[in-house]
């Protein structure tokens, strides 16, 4: 019996060892599967984190400046690339590669998305659409952080009958020498609002009669107090890093000047004063001016330039004062950190905004043309230019 007992003991021992081996291998298999599943989750979470960052960048950054990005999340990491086509339409392709690895195992997870600009084929034409895409301080025919003065016979109208050409001041609205306000003649085809005091001489008519909006469905008072509209300082030095051309010293422009496209406007930094004499602009552009801006004469071809154009095509962001002289036609969106003064009878197709006062003297005219969102990309409180819609998306795991 002894040898049979020994044989049985040996068999049982071998069977127990085999069972333990199977249990160990099963446990190891379960551990490996669990680790692979965890790596899959980490890689996908990293990719989703990179995709969320990409969406934020698309909404807040100029598309032309988008570049590859990398980051980490827990035990995972991601790398994002952008492929941007500016044109008609504008397209953005985003690819995010998420990855995670541990114990010699690695997993990659990829997310790709395609975006199209809904307005890429043509410029939006409705004034309300354009105005909704520019900073609040550019949604007026004239806005001032200091006093706004209408003297003698200025006229502030819309370039078309679709839009209100309203004015606003964060300070006092001075109508004391406005013949329109005194006589009840239309001076502003829009609303007049002020955060300070109103100065007027109602000799013959209520000065409110001088403010006649093109549209007033809510029957609001056309001349009334209002809250402050924040007018930030334009940091010309900071914006200069986006310049495509720099002009040392002052600059006087004569003749025809070629600019860029709506998708890629020319950005010119003038390190001094800018004088616009007899000049015609061809295309879209931005002038960043360290000094003052003086408009001395007619900007040729304005009416031809504006034919079929619902928005401004040239912008001037000026650290110093802006002065409009002469009798000619001018086109553009003009912003100054100091004062803006009309001293003649020029006609501006565009709008003005000033960190100081705005002064309308004698008989100038503004025909309010909505600013171009394409020329406000780098300004404070800028609204994203492109109305992007995701048209395709896919995601998959790579082992």
Give tens-digit pLDDT for 163-190. 899 999 999 999 998 988 888 889 999 9
Examine the domain organization and report whether 215 and 333 are in the same domain.
Answer: yes
Burial of 76 (0-12, 13-18, 19+ CB in 10 A): buried
pLDDT of residue 26: 42
Residue with more model confidence, 378 or 109: 109
Examine the domain organization and report whether 365 and 285 are in the same domain.
Answer: yes
Examine the domain organization and report whether 222 and 331 are in the same domain.
Answer: yes
Examine the domain organization and report whether 367 and 260 are in the same domain.
Answer: yes
Candidates 312, 316, 253; CA nearest to 280 is 253
**pLDDT band for position 237 (cuts 50, 70, 90):** very high
Average pLDDT, the chain: 85
* Total domains in the fold of the chain: 2
pLDDT of residue 320: 98
Examine the domain organization and report whether 393 and 371 are in the same domain.
Answer: no
* Cβ atoms within 10 Å, residue 283: 16
Does any domain span residue 129? no
The answer to which of 111-115, 339-343, 379-383 has the lowest mean pLDDT is 379-383
Instruction: Give the residue-averaged pLDDT of 211-240.
Output: 95
Examine the domain organization and report whether 156 and 300 are in the same domain.
Answer: yes
**pLDDT band for position 18 (cuts 50, 70, 90):** very low
Instruction: Give the residue-averaged pLDDT of 196-214.
Output: 87
List strands edge to edge, sheet with 69-73: 69-73, 76-85, 91-102, 105-117, 388-398
Examine the domain organization and report whether 238 and 361 are in the same domain.
Answer: yes
* pLDDT reading at 27 higher than 90: no
The vertex-332 CA angle with 158 and 141, nearest 5°, equals 35
Examine the domain organization and report whether 171 and 26 are in the same domain.
Answer: no
Does any domain span residue 314? yes
pLDDT of residue 254: 87
Note the pLDDT tens digit of each residue in 39-72.
Answer: 889 999 999 999 999 998 887 777 777 889 999 8
Residue with more model confidence, 4 or 200: 200
pLDDT of residue 5: 45
Does any domain span residue 333? yes
Bridge partner list, 306: none
**pLDDT band for position 362 (cuts 50, 70, 90):** confident
pLDDT of residue 63: 78
Residue with more model confidence, 228 or 302: 228
Examine the domain organization and report whether 148 and 22 are in the same domain.
Answer: no
Judge contact between 55 and 70, C-beta under 8 A.
no
Note the pLDDT tens digit of each residue in 256-274.
Answer: 899 998 878 999 999 999 9
- Of the chain, the percentage scoring pLDDT greater than 90 comes to 55
Domain that holds residue 265: 134-375
Examine the domain organization and report whether 205 and 340 are in the same domain.
Answer: yes
**pLDDT band for position 29 (cuts 50, 70, 90):** low
Does any domain span residue 92? yes
Half-sphere exposure of 265 (CA within 13 A, CB side): 26
**pLDDT band for position 13 (cuts 50, 70, 90):** very low
Does any domain span residue 125? no
CATH number where 112 lies: 3.30.1300
Examine the domain organization and report whether 142 and 104 are in the same domain.
Answer: no
**pLDDT band for position 295 (cuts 50, 70, 90):** very high
Does any domain span residue 28? yes
Instruction: Give the residue-averaged pLDDT of 235-249.
Output: 93
Residue with more model confidence, 4 or 150: 150
Does any domain span residue 380? no
Examine the domain organization and report whether 356 and 269 are in the same domain.
Answer: yes
**pLDDT band for position 386 (cuts 50, 70, 90):** low
- Of the chain, the percentage scoring pLDDT greater than 70 comes to 84
Does any domain span residue 280? yes
Q: Which two structure tokens, joined as six digits, stand for 54?
A: 């990409």
Candidates 186, 193, 198, 184; CA nearest to 155 is 186
User: How many Å apart are CA 56 and CA 79, to the nearest integer?
Assistant: 15
pLDDT of residue 12: 36
């Amino acid at each position: 019996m002894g040898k049979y007992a020994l044989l049985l003991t040996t068999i049982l021992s071998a069977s127990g060892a085999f069972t333990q081996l199977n249990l160990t291998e099963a446990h190891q298999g379960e551990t490996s599967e669990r680790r692979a599943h965890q790596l899959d989750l980490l890689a996908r979470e990293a990719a989703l984190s990179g995709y969320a960052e990409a969406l934020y960048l698309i909404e807040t950054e100029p598309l032309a400046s988008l570049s590859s990005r990398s980051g980490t999340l827990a035990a995972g990491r991601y790398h994002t690339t952008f492929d941007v086509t500016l044109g008609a339409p504008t397209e953005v392709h985003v690819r995010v590669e998420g990855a995670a690895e541990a114990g010699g195992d690695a997993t990659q997870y990829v997310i790709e998305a395609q975006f199209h600009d809904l307005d890429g084929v043509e410029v939006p034409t409705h004034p309300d659409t354009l105005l909704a895409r520019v900073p609040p301080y550019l949604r007026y025919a004239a806005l001032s952080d200091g006093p706004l003065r209408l003297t003698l016979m200025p006229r502030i109208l819309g370039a078309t009958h679709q839009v209100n050409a309203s004015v606003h001041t964060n300070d006092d609205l001075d109508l004391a020498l406005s013949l329109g306000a005194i006589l009840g003649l239309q001076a502003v085809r829009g609303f007049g609002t002020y955060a300070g005091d109103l100065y007027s001489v109602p000799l013959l008519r209520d000065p409110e009669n001088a403010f006649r909006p093109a549209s007033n469905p809510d029957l609001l008072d056309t001349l009334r107090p209002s809250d402050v509209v924040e007018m930030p300082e334009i940091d010309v030095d900071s914006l200069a890093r986006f310049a495509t051309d720099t002009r040392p010293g002052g600059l006087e422009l004569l003749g025809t000047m070629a600019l860029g496209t709506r998708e890629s406007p020319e950005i010119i930094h003038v390190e001094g004063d800018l004088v616009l004499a007899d000049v015609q602009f061809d295309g879209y552009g931005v002038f960043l001016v360290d000094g003052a801006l003086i408009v001395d004469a007619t900007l040729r071809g304005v009416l031809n330039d504006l034919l079929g154009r619902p928005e401004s095509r040239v912008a001037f962001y000026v650290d110093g004062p802006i002065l409009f002289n002469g009798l000619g036609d001018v086109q553009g969106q003009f912003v100054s950190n100091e004062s803006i003064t009309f001293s003649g009878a020029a006609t501006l197709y565009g709008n003005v905004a000033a960190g100081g006062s705005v002064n309308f003297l004698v008989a100038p005219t503004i025909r309010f043309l909505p600013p171009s969102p394409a020329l406000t990309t780098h300004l404070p409180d800028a609204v994203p230019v492109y109305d992007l819609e995701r048209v395709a998306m896919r995601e998959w795991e790579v082992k």
